Structure 1
């Protein structure tokens, strides 16, 4: 896979907003979050996504991330966060107490291996700073992580959804899909799995062998796919096409949210896990 593909997928990767939080809402750190109607306390950052704009370099200076490989962070609604460090995808659990934040050691996938030295260094530093964060604050469209001494470590800008690549009316070509755990796989070459959302509330496409369609409901960042109907053809070539098709349709049924970054669509499930990655066809 070429460098352009890495940037496309890593930029999203989890690009992703959690389905239970259908609208991104900003909160200010340092305030207590009241419980909801059933007594649960919502995480202040849950359902938000942010792009890194600056970070504390090894020498203490403030640096900007590499162009086209800016890290992204998405906060789930169950104490999980995920994103891209510029090339590789990562996930971790986190806890918030007032303005304090604690990120546990980060788990990193090797789906998109970083080869350039500068990119590897950025990823390593980003993970180091993420785990070192002790407090945070949201200031307008900025999210700032501070170290134990109060020094700024990471500065993010709220991730906005581009209008140039709309969800509806765009033909989305499957680029990666989740298999087990944090593992992602590329589609079988030549299978041409795609997806289109029509304004009439119907999605459709090819699952590789069979055509499929389903009603859907969509919100700013949330999506629900109703019963999927597919044709009944079968194929033996290329190898693995039917297994991939079954996996793809099963994942699509669990869709609960989505995020568009650049020309890439990431679909997430109800646990905030990125499960499908599509590229817009020009």
Structure 2
């Protein structure tokens, strides 16, 4: 999309989405979730009462992408749908969305979950190091990685919670990955609450600390 003639910056790992349901619009603005009231009449399209969550995401380019998109969205006044694309335009803005097929919900077990983000309070940070993963098997065993150390252990499921009964970490981490390693282990050991939305798994500990994984395809 464009805003005042300049491209809205995009961050590959933090996509911007738009969902229209009745008189509501919602989606992800790179980092935060947003929602608002849709005013639609013919090709006239505008969003009122826009509300946005207040997390901070890293790298900083993510927040720049979000700010540019939200500024563009509130200036939109027309809509066009053609060739599987939704195009929103205003006097100095244009936002182009491509229709996506609904993502089938991934299974918690026997899926390779790849870590994308670390959540702590309102801050969301990206992942460094080697690919960090989590795999839960139906026999109660688990394996994974923190991005620098290999994980192995066992678990049981209790409702929407995964109770980790054993967790060991093998290997060493360089200093720059020590904090990430510690946060991943802290978020997994002992147990965590799970939420699955399509191909995204979020694990939560104590309400405000979590990990965001995406199913490997």
| Pairwise TM-score range, normalised by the shorter structure | 0.5 to 0.7
Task: Compute the displacement of 1:168 (Å).
Answer: 0.7
- Give how far 1:228 is off: 0.9
Give the corresponding residue for 1:45: none
Superposition deviation, residue 197 in structure 1: 0.6
The CA deviation at 1:185 is: 1.1
**1:29-74 per-position Cα deviation (integer Å, ceiling 9, x unaligned):** xxxxxxxxxxxxxxxxxxxxxx9945xxxxxxxx2315xx26xxxx
User: Do the aligned partners of residues 260 and 4 (structure 1) sit closer, same or farther apart at CA in structure 2, a change above 3 Å counting?
Assistant: farther
- Unaligned runs of 5+ residues in structure 1 are 12-50, 55-62, 71-84, 91-104, 123-161
Query: What's 2:210 paired with?
Result: 275
Determine the structure 2 residue equivalent to 1:116.
69
Gaps of 5+ in 2: 1-8, 35-50, 76-102
Moved over 3 A (4+): 1-5, 51-54, 117-122
Aligned residues: 159
TM-superposed deviation, 1:235:
3.8
- Cα drift, residue 87 of structure 1: 4.4
Structure 2 length-normalised TM: 0.60
- 1:88 aligned residue: 32
More strand by share: 2
Aligned to 2:172: 234
Tell me how large the CA RMSD over aligned residues is: 3.5
> What TM-score do the two structures reach when normalised by structure 1?
0.47
Alignment-derived partner of residue 95 in structure 1: none
1:184 maps to 2:134: no
| 8 A contact 2:187–2:209 mirrored in 1 | no
Whether the 8 Å CA contact 1:174–1:276 is kept in 2: the answer is yes
CA contact under 8 A between 2:33 and 2:52: conserved in structure 1? no
Distance (Å, rounded) in 1 between the aligned partners of 2:31 and 2:72: 7
1:64 to 24, 40, 45: 24
How big is the shift at 1:210?
1.9
CA deviation after TM superposition for structure 1 residue 6, in Å: 2.5
Which of 208, 211, 217 is equivalent to 2:150?
211
Instruction: Tell me: CA distance 1:2–1:165, structure 2 relative to 1, closer, same or farther (3 Å).
Output: farther
Q: Which residue, out of 184, 187, 192, partners 1:248?
A: 184
